[in-house]
Structure 1
């Protein structure tokens, strides 16, 4: 599927605010939950049904109305309000190893009309689904878009063949879901991204606002020979005295890691010279989203749109994602840096190092 949360698909803050306002202003949907509690609906299609409906890709489908069943307490706090989204859909297609999911905010199209349809909207003015409860308490999910899990404009980006492969099938609509215990839905959503005990504490807990850190990796000749398109020979990600002093004077420890500066030093095998770039970070879901900064930069142009992502790795490592040429392996001011990284310099697994390894 095309980018969903990138090192997570990321929704804009404006969309979060808009979604939150809609959900807070909307009355509770008593059709879905007469007593105001969270509600779960689902269906697991058997082999006979799927054989009779060859154009239906969805083998399992669940809809959860209530609080976010996806976020987990050991992830970074979400910038999204608890009530921003109140409708959560998850489906698993035939042959898939785990479900896909999407979220939206569900409201009556006409709040003054008891018979009015329920529409669940998504960001970018897209529709997640239309909902209706029948006289037996079953949830009818209709108007489900084939590209519900894809980015807007995915058909043009992917091409017709790949789009058809990734999109839902022509019979994936008008689902009739049975009421189920909320734990059933929560268990299904938990399969989307199971907790990995090896990941340990999130970065915001592992890395302290008033303490330095150093992560890095030096690639040997054997690795570089097997990765001919990798420009990076050595990389360091760190917070030292300068970054600590900057946060101490202007940062807010209560909102850590928002506003934290980090430095990234890269040595490439082509040039051999070390280049250092500073980034300013924000906590986002289970990662840090860091924008290139003019502070301590070797570049003078406006490079604020150059971003990297930091995420906890297994067994104390740190993952760094560079999806859009955001590392100084090329001049960030050049036109050549405007496109996406086309080399092996996209994902780095970095090991903790002594602070001396990150000294200038």
Structure 2
């Protein structure tokens, strides 16, 4: 007897293994990735406005049977600004074998794709920019400071896996905060 799984199921499971660094099974899973660009890198990429980026993926099984759910939180620091900007969105598992996640930023703020580069790195695709805010929990301002936007060279970023506790500021649920604080 052969068990046949839907095509997207196998891709999502493989991507989950690579994204979270372990088989997640039925449990909640978290991943944290970060990149701080050096002055030399930024000098050689004058159209890149992102100075550093952190991505947190929070995943759980839906209690009502809708399968594995994914939430993405991201912070970014732009080249000439001191404050940190953030964005959040819900994601679906990639079904084409190329993307691990496809994330829609809250309130029609754009899309972010996550691809697996290797066992410790991801590629974050932001082809058309994404809306960010200074404080996700405050009412959105109509105008951000000048320079608080993705530049023409801010479309693909390689980020490396880091300790989960690094992403504690991006955790939105008490359960995720508790899990990250113990790492």
Check whether TM > 0.5: yes
Q: 1:147 to 1:131 in 2, by over 3 A?
A: closer
| 3-state SS, counterpart of residue 54 of structure 2 | strand
1:108 matched to which residue of 2?
93
1:127 is matched with: 110
**Structure 1 residue 47: deviation in Å?**
0.7
Determine helix, strand or coil for the equivalent of 1:90: strand
After TM superposition, what 4+ stretches of structure 1 lie above 6 angstroms from structure 2?
Answer: none
In the alignment, is residue 173 of structure 1 matched against residue 139 of structure 2? no
More strand by share: 2
Contact 1:86–1:105 (CA<8 Å) still a contact in 2? yes
What number of residue pairs does the alignment pair up? 136
d(CA) in 2 for partners of 1:58, 1:116:
24
Task: Indicate if the aligned counterparts of 2:57 and 2:73 stay in contact, CA closer than 8 A.
Answer: yes
The residue that corresponds to 1:98 in the other structure is 83
Shift of 1:183: 1.3
- Indicate yes or no: 2:124 matched with 1:137: no
Rounded to whole Å, the distance in 1 between the matches of 2:78 and 2:148 is 10
Match of 2:47 in 1: 55
Q: Highest relative contact order (Cα 8 Å, sep 6+), 1 or 2?
A: 2
- 2:168 match: secondary structure: helix
Judged with a 3 Å threshold, the aligned counterparts in structure 2 of structure 1 residues 144 and 103 are, in CA distance, closer, same or farther, namely: farther
Structure 2 distance, partners of 1:58, 1:137, is 21
Q: 1:123 to 1:147 in 2, by over 3 A?
A: closer
The 1:99/1:126 distance shift into structure 2, 3 A limit, reads closer
What whole-Å deviation, never above 9, does each CA across 1:17-47 have from its counterpart, x for those lacking one? xxxxxxxxxx775131134331101101111
- Name the TM-score, length of structure 2 as normaliser: 0.62
Structure 1: tracts of 5 or more residues without a match: 1-26, 68-82, 151-156, 191-360
Residues 105, 130 of structure 2: 8 Å contact kept: no
Secondary structure of 1:38 counterpart: strand
Q: Secondary structure at the match of 2:166?
A: helix
In structure 2, runs of 5+ residues without a counterpart are 1-11, 60-67, 134-141, 172-183
Shift in Å, 1:104: 0.8
Higher gyration radius (CA) = 1
| TM-score (structure 1 length as normaliser) | 0.33
**Map 1:268-283 → 2, pairs under 5 A:** none
